[in-house]
C-alpha cells in the first residue's frame, strides 16, 4: 500500500514537471535585465511576482557582461543577502554571482529585491538577475555546504563542486550565464531549469536550475547545461542541507 501511495506521488510530481510553473514548490519569483553606463552606484530593482512565505530560501543569481563589483543586495524587508559564490565569465567578459538568505517574514507579491553595483568596463554594461525560491532548506545559520565554479567557451556548460557534500539529500542549486553570442541555454537532466532570463538582444542570459542531491554524502555534485550557439560562459553550484521529508520526496 505504501509503494502504491508513493507511486501516486511520483505520478503527481511528474505531472507537475510536465507543466512548468504549475504545482512546483521551486520557482523563479522575479527577474530583470537592464543596461547601465560604466559608472559607479548602479541600482537594479527586481519586483517579486508572487508572495514568499517566511522560512523559504531565496537565491539571487546575477550576471553582468562587464567587470563589476557588487556593493549590496537587500529586499523590501530590509534584509541583506550575503554572497555565496561567484565566478568570472570566460575571457573576462563579465561576472556571475549568487547570493542567498532565508526569509524571516513574508515577502508579498510586489515586494522588491534591490542590487547595488558598479561596472568597471569602458562601455555600457548589461545585467540580468533571476531570483529563485526553494522550500525545505534546514533552518540553520549556514545551510550551504559544497561549492563549485567553472567558466569556458562553447555550447556545453558544466560545473562540479570542488569539495564533496557532507550530508545526503541536499538541494543542488546551479546557475549558468552566457555572454557575447545570442543563444538560448537549457539545463540538462538531472537538473531542472527554472527558465532563462535574457537581455533584449539575447547576448546575456542567466539560467538558474536545481536538482535533488544523492541519497548519500561524499558526492561531488554538479550540473550541466547546453547552449544553442558557442558562448562565453560561467557556472556556479551550491548545495544546501535540506529537510529530507520535503526534498527527498520532491514536494512541499
Domain around 35: 2-247
| Residue 45 lies inside a defined structural domain of this protein | yes
Q: Can you give the pLDDT at residue 121? A: 64
| Residue 11 lies inside a defined structural domain of this protein | yes
Distance between CA 148 and CA 243 in Å, rounded? 22
| Residue 155 lies inside a defined structural domain of this protein | yes
Which residues, other chains included, contact 177 with Cβ-Cβ below 8 Å and sequence gap of 6+? Answer: 61, 63, 89, 94, 96, 128, 204, 205, 206, 207, 233, 234, 235
pTM of the model: 0.86
Q: Can you give the pLDDT at residue 18? A: 33
Q: Can you give the pLDDT at residue 20? A: 34
**Is the four-CA dihedral 140, 241, 208, 61 of positive or negative sign?**
positive
Q: Work out the average pLDDT over 122-149.
A: 89
Question: What percentage of residues in the chain have a pLDDT greater than 90?
Answer: 62
Indicate the number of domains in the chain.
1
* Position with higher pLDDT, 84 vs 14: 84
Q: Can you give the pLDDT at residue 245? A: 54
| Residue 252 lies inside a defined structural domain of this protein | no
| Residue 117 lies inside a defined structural domain of this protein | yes
Residue 252 has pLDDT above 50, yes or no: no
Which residues, other chains included, contact 140 with Cβ-Cβ below 8 Å and sequence gap of 6+? Answer: 241
- pLDDT tier for residue 8 given thresholds of 50, 70 and 90: very low
Q: Tell me whether strands 171-179 and 222-240 are parallel, antiparallel or unpaired.
A: antiparallel
pLDDT, one tens digit per residue, over 54-90 is 989 999 999 998 888 888 899 999 899 999 999 999 9
Amino acid at each position: 500500500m505504501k509503494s502504491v501511495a508513493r507511486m501516486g506521488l511520483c505520478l503527481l510530481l511528474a505531472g507537475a514537471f510536465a507543466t512548468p510553473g504549475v504545482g512546483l514548490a521551486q520557482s523563479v519569483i522575479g527577474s530583470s535585465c537592464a543596461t547601465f553606463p560604466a559608472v559607479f552606484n548602479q541600482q537594479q530593482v527586481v519586483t517579486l511576482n508572487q508572495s514568499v512565505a517566511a522560512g523559504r530560501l531565496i537565491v539571487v543569481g546575477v550576471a553582468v557582461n562587464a567587470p563589476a563589483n557588487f556593493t549590496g543586495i537587500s529586499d523590501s524587508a530590509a534584509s541583506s543577502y550575503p554572497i555565496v559564490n561567484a565566478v568570472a565569465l570566460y575571457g573576462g567578459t563579465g561576472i556571475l554571482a549568487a547570493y542567498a538568505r532565508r526569509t524571516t517574514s513574508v515577502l508579498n507579491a510586489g515586494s522588491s529585491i534591490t542590487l547595488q553595483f558598479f561596472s568597471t568596463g569602458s562601455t555600457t554594461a548589461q545585467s540580468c538577475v533571476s531570483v529563485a525560491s526553494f522550500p525545505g532548506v534546514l533552518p540553520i545559520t549556514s545551510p550551504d555546504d559544497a561549492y563549485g565554479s567553472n567558466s569556458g567557451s562553447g555550447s556545453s556548460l558544466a560545473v562540479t563542486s570542488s569539495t564533496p557534500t557532507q550530508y545526503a539529500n541536499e538541494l543542488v542549486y546551479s546557475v549558468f550565464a552566457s555572454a557575447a553570442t545570442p543563444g538560448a541555454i537549457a539545463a540538462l537532466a538531472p537538473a531542472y531549469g527554472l527558465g532563462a532570463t535574457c537581455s533584449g538582444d539575447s547576448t546575456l542570459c542567466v539560467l538558474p536550475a536545481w536538482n535533488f542531491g544523492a541519497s548519500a554524502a561524499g558526492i561531488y555534485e554538479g550540473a550541466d547545461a547546453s547552449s544553442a550557439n558557442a558562448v562565453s560562459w560561467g557556472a556556479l553550484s551550491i548545495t544546501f542541507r535540506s529537510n529530507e521529508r520535503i526534498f527527498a520526496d520532491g514536494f512541499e
